[in-house]
Structures are given as structure tokens and as C-alpha cells.
Amino acid sequence: MKPGPARVLAALRRAGGRTCSGASLSSEQGVSRAQVWKDVESLRAQGYTIEATPSDGYRLAAVPDLLLPEEIDAGLETRWLARDLRWLETTDSTNRVALDLARAGAAHGTTVVAEAQTAGRGRLGRSFFSPPRKNYYGSSVLRPRLLTAEAPPWILASAVAVAEAVEQTVGDSGAVEIKWPNDVLLGGLKTSGILMELSAEATHVVFLVLGIGVNLNVDRRDFPEEFRATATSLSSHCGRKIDRIAFAQRLYNALERTLDTCAERGFEALRPRFEARFRMRGRPLTVVELDGARQSGVAEGVAADGALLLRRDDGSLVRVVAGDVTIAKENP
């Protein structure tokens, strides 16, 4: 947003729903009343509802239902995350944009948010359904001091933050579950996707790109056939519309705290918060590893490095570092 409209918007916000006269806006900002009018028009073009009466002045009646940096920033408690926030009406993939920004030197915490993705990506080359103006899709550049081998549990840490933001939003923590490694489920159905990509020199991370998609207001009946049986959205779960801006603020606030903890004390310090939501424990699972091998057993928990621990029928404990989990039906 340009400085002029941003200043007018800030003044209207400070007025808190009361009307500001054109004269006061003009003198306050040292610009002509004609310029104030142009700035108001620019805000309207961005979706702001601003009522104007020639005698009284301007009043901010409604903000657009868009993930605009000015809106998100107003309720952000972070120090470094999403303070540099770039908004896109649409893009192919926010991770692709953030990777390009990272390679060009973007600072720790730089975040890209989009209203829609035309080629949203998930783990293992899968797609992420990303219809416009319904959900949250964003990717952050992270530059922690981190060894390459220490990076994998950061995806579990991110899932903890997403789960906490979802819990605060739906107000029903009992319904929230994390499916290893990083899917956040509501009532057993998938509500989010996390795709963490990293660039490293052999031994140490140069940057991470953490992409998060959360189904907020998409109607679960609108999912493509392939996702319909297994996915839901926060609004479909709650039966009410979700405030996307408030969700983004909660997400960034939770994510910064969680990642700071992970950087300072390791995933070990977050493990209890992961395991509290890890309702696979004690359930029979099958995991398809990256090479196609299958491991079956009963989930015991996660290791300090984020690996899934499976107890096999023969009593042995196996570690699964990467793969795709299927939860066996309890009564087949």
C-alpha cells in the first residue's frame, strides 16, 4: 500500500468507526483535500468500504475480507515473523515465491501470503486445493542457525503451532489432532498442509521455506472428489464463518513462539505439545516409506528427532523418518 492511502487508513482506524472530516485529514497529513479524496478512492479500490458525506467527512465502515498486510499487521505480536509480509491476489505457489525471495536474500521471517494458488503444492509432490479468498495460504523464509540433520523436526514443530492456532479459532481443542508428521485434523479430517523445503550446504541449513495452507472457509462439499472424504475446513466443522485475518494473526503469533523454542531448545522441548495432540498413539498403523517399503505396528510416539516410533508385532521398535501413514480401521 502506498504511504498516502496507508496514512488515511490509519487515521480512519484510529477514529474507530467515527467520521473524520476531510479538512482534519487534510491538515493532519499536510496534503490537499483532493489528495485525501484520491487516497480514499485508492482504499476503496482495494476493497475497503468507506462512507463519505460532503458535510461530515469519511468513515471506515468495513475492511475487505483479504489477507492484507495492513490488516494482519494491526494485530500481530511477533518480533520477526511476517513483519515483512507480501500479499498476492493469486500465484502458482507461495512456496515457489518464497524460495525465489530466499535465494535473492530475503530476511528471516519474510512471508508471502496469497488469496489463491493455481498450483498449490503439498508434501511428496501432491497438490493442495487452493480456491480464492476462502482459506489461508502462506510461506515464510526462515534462517535459523541449524545443522542439516536437525531440520526435519521443524516440520513437527510447525504442526504444533498450526494445531494451536486452529484450537484457538474453533474453541474445541478436543477435536484437534496431529497426524504424523504434520497434518492437523479436525474430527479426524484434514484441515491443513505443511510443506517445508530447505536449502543447505552439506552440513548446515542456509534457509528453510515453510509453507502452510489451512482450510478456513471453503465448504467441504466444494473439495475436489479426491479430497472430499478426508478433508474439512474450520467453517464446515464449526458451522460459522472464520475471520481469516484473525486466524493469520494467531498463526503467526503461535508459530514465532514455537519456532523460537525449537531453535533455542530443540524439538525435544516441544515434544509434549506434539504428543498431547498425537492421537495415533496405541493405534495400529501402516507407513509406506519413500522407497515403497511398508512398516506396520502400533504407534508409540515420536522420538526427539521427530521420527515416528512403531512397535512391531515381534516386539521390536522401529523408527520411521519419512513416509506416509495410514491408520488401520479399528473394527474392520
Where does this chain bind its own copies (CB under 8 A)?
A: 123-124, 145, 147-149, 151-152, 154-155, 181-182, 195-204, 206, 290-291, 305, 321-322
Q: How far is the CB of 139 from its own copies (least distance, A)?
A: 13
* CB of 60 or CB of 155, closer to its own copies: 155
User: Smallest distance from the beta carbon of 274 to its own copies, in angstroms?
Assistant: 14
Nearer to its own copies, 151 or 166 (CB): 151
Query: Looking at beta carbons only, is 73 or 305 nearer to its own copies?
Result: 305
Of residues 1 and 309, the one with the C-beta less far from its own copies: 309
CB 135 within 8 A of CB 213: yes
What's the order of all strands across the beta sheet hosting 183-186?
176-179, 183-186, 189-190
Q: How near is the Cβ of 27 to its own copies at its closest, in Å?
A: 52
CB-based burial, 101-136: b 16+ in 10 Å, e otherwise: bbeeebebbbbbbbbbbeebbbbeeeebbbbeebbb
Cis bond upstream, residue 181 (ω within 30): yes
DSSP for 162-182, please give it.
Answer: HHHHHHHHHT-GGGEEEETTT
Q: How far is the CB of 206 from its own copies (least distance, A)?
A: 8
Cell of 206: 542456509
Burial of 46 (0-12, 13-18, 19+ CB in 10 A): middle
- Work out how close the CB of 208 gets to its own copies at its nearest, in angstroms, rounded to a whole number: 9
The answer to whether 75 and 28 are in contact (CB under 8 A) is no
CB of 149 to its own copies, least distance (A): 4
Interatomic CA distance for residues 46 and 67, integer angstroms: 11
3-class DSSP assignment, residue 296:
strand
Of 154 and 247, which CB lies nearer to its own copies in the complex structure?
Answer: 154
The three-class DSSP label of residue 86 is strand
Nearer to its own copies among residue 23 and residue 321 (C-beta):
321
* 45 versus 202: smaller Cβ distance to its own copies: 202
Cα-based torsion angle of the residue sequence 294, 156, 274, 272 in order, rounded to the nearest 10 degrees = 110
Smallest gap from Cβ 77 to its own copies, in A, equals 26
